[in-house]
């Protein structure tokens, strides 16, 4: 009996040791990732692009993806010093370069682009600074509304020795607001606040205690814990409990009162940023708009694609008009053979979407692109649309015959001879997808 007893004791000790090691490992992960114990980790993520090394890392990631080539091009420009004629090469009139101080005496600088209208848009961006919105086309977009524009940099972009934090970023944004009100004599009822990511938190903090005409929020999270946990692969962040997040977990919902200025929410990654969750939890007046964004770094809206959609939303917002966010519904067919027969009868091309339940980009397209009213209208009018699960027949057989190895993938077939007319691989937002549909329908 001694040998079995010793074996049992050995196994029990081994399991206890493994359990203790697992607990210690989890505690170590929590300690490293928790904002309360290691704020620098979260701050580096919130203000990514704040240092040259960040930009090089993002360029490396973008270069891994074909769709990230434009992101990499923009990032390479940001990694280089600004040339004296950069603004002129963009076809823009040089802005007024201004300097102002924060409440605690830090030196800040900004660019003021004047315009003919009475309104001014204050832009509080993320860690990339004021050059990113400049390079990605915000100036012509925002100036099309008739408003003047004011970009500014958080203090850490001018002083590498400063470690930027959400509290300092909010103080810098407040200083920019105060500068426009006090020095440029802009009336609060003519001031629109635009924030992106951490900039959303900053402008919501301003609006909580100061007047403004409206708020434009790009990728606002509900709180930073929810946004961190939604990042693909961020398993460790899910271990961090709520009480180890400081500053109320940068909760945007708590900053929006029952009475607030009109809010326009825009997102190209609602499943990651939780922007749609934020929109659903705030009160009216509010509007929501999906727009295409640069991938894979989620740098900024892709205004080469979504300029018209964004501009229309801005003009309605500034005019005090509601923005319609009516969703459409695609009349999907699920049986390939009957859909093919229907396409032949109606002399329409057959559009097949290959998808899968486990595919996150597929789910994002379902809730954004395939819910967009214009996309749905074009699909139902010009095609016979079929939605097939790539893990089942006949999608497996069809996918093999057309060389499809990944999802989401959309193909357009001639109903007459089932020949391939067009194809789109990977994720696509509604604006880009709509252009592709119209071309494929010809």
Is 39 part of a structural domain of the chain? Answer: no
Buried b (16+ CB within 10 A) or exposed e, 190-224: bbbbbbbbbbbbbbbbbbeeeebbbbbbbbbbbbb
Which residue is listed with tokens 């190209």?
268
Q: Which of 318, 347, 382 corresponds to the end of one domain? A: 318
How far is Cα 152 from Cα 242, in angstroms, rounded to an integer? 32
Q: What is the distance between the alpha carbons of residues 343 and 345, in angstroms, rounded to a whole number? A: 5
Helices (H), 383-429: 395-401
- Whether 1 maps to a domain, the answer reads no
Residues 114 and 193 in one domain: yes
> Residue 228 corresponds to which tokens in the numbers above?
């961190």
Looking at the fold, whether 232 and 180 belong to one and the same domain comes out as: yes
Compute the Cα dihedral for 178, 179, 181, 183 and give only its sign.
positive
Flag whether 395 is in a domain: yes
Based on the domain organization, do 58 and 94 belong to the same domain?
A: yes
**Total domains in the fold of the chain:** 2
**What CATH code is carried by the domain that includes residue 114?**
3.40.50.1820
Co-location of 361 and 307 in the same domain: no
Reduced to 3 states (helix: H, G, I; strand: E, B; else coil), residue 404 is: coil
At residue 16, the pLDDT reads 87
Q: Is residue 178 part of a domain?
A: yes
**pLDDT for the residue 385:** 97
161: left (phi over 0), alpha (psi -120 to 50) or beta: alpha
Going by C-alpha positions, the residue among 279, 436, 422 that lies closest to residue 352 is: 422
Residues 203 and 348 in one domain: no
Question: Token pair of 138, please?
Answer: 């915000």
**What does the pLDDT read at residue 310?**
94
Does 156 lie in the same domain as 296? yes
Domain range for 301 is 44-318
Task: Answer yes or no: is 130 within a domain.
Answer: yes
My answer on whether 303 and 209 are in the same domain is yes
Q: Which helix (H) or strand (E) holds 388?
A: strand 384-389
- Residue where a domain terminates, one of 248, 283, 318: 318
The CATH number of residue 374's host domain is 3.40.30.10
Give the integer Cα–Cα distance in Å for 72 and 74.
5
Tokens representing residue 51 in the block: 């240092």
For the chain, 442 residues long, the average pLDDT of each consecutive 10-residue run is 68 86 86 89 86 82 76 90 92 95 94 96 92 95 96 86 91 98 97 97 98 97 92 79 93 94 92 91 91 84 92 90 77 94 94 93 90 93 95 89 92 90 92 93 87
pTM (predicted TM-score): 0.89
Task: Give the pLDDT of residue 98.
Answer: 96
* Helix or strand (DSSP H, E) at 313: helix 303-318
CA distance 293 to 68: 11
**pLDDT, tens only, 193-209:** 999 999 999 999 999 99
- List the structure tokens of 6: 């010793």
């Amino acid at each position: 009996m001694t040998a079995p007893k010793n074996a049992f004791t050995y196994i029990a000790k081994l399991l206890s040791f493994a359990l203790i090691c697992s607990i210690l490992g989890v505690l170590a992960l929590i300690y490293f990732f928790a904002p309360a114990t290691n704020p620098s980790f979260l701050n580096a993520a919130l203000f990514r692009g704040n240092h040259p090394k960040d930009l090089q890392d993002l360029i490396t990631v973008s270069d891994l993806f074909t769709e990230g080539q434009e992101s990499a091009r923009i990032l390479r420009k940001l990694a280089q010093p600004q040339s004296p004629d950069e603004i002129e090469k963009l076809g823009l009139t040089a802005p007024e370069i201004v300097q102002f101080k924060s409440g605690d005496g830090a030196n800040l600088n900004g660019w003021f682009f004047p315009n003919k209208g009475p309104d001014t848009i204050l832009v509080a961006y993320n860690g990339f600074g004021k050059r990113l919105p400049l390079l990605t086309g915000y100036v012509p977009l925002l100036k099309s509304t008739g408003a003047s524009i004011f970009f500014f940099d958080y203090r850490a972009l001018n002083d590498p020795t400063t470690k930027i934090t959400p509290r300092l970023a909010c103080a810098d944004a407040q200083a920019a607001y105060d500068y426009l009100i006090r020095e440029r004599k802009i009336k609060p009822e003519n001031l629109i606040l635009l924030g992106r990511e951490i900039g959303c938190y900053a402008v919501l903090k301003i609006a909580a205690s100061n007047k403004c005409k409206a708020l434009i929020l790009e990728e606002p999270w509900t709180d930073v814990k929810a946004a961190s946990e939604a990042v693909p692969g961020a398993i460790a962040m899910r271990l961090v409990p709520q009480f180890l997040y400081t500053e109320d977990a940068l909760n945007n919902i708590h900053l929006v009162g029952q009475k607030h200025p009109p809010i326009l929410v825009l997102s190209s990654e609602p499943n990651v940023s939780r922007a749609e969750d934020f929109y659903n939890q705030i009160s009216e007046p509010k509007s929501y708009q999906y727009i295409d964004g640069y991938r894979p770094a989620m740098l900024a809206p892709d205004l080469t694609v979504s300029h018209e959609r964004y501009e229309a939303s801005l003009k309605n917002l500034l005019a005090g008009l509601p923005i319609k966010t009516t969703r459409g519904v695609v009349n999907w067919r699920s049986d390939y053979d009957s859909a093919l027969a229907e396409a032949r009868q109606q002399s329409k091309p057959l559009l097949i979407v290959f998808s899968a339940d486990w595919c996150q980009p597929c789910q994002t397209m379902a809730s954004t692109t395939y819910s967009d009213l214009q996309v749905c209208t074009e699909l139902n009018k010009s095609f016979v649309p079929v939605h097939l699960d790539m893990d089942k027949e006949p999608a497996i057989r069809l996918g093999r015959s057309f060389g499809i190895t990944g999802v989401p993938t959309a193909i357009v077939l001639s109903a007459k001879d089932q020949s391939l007319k067009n194809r789109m691989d990977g994720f696509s937002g509604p604006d880009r997808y709509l252009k592709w549909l119209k071309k494929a329908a010809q």
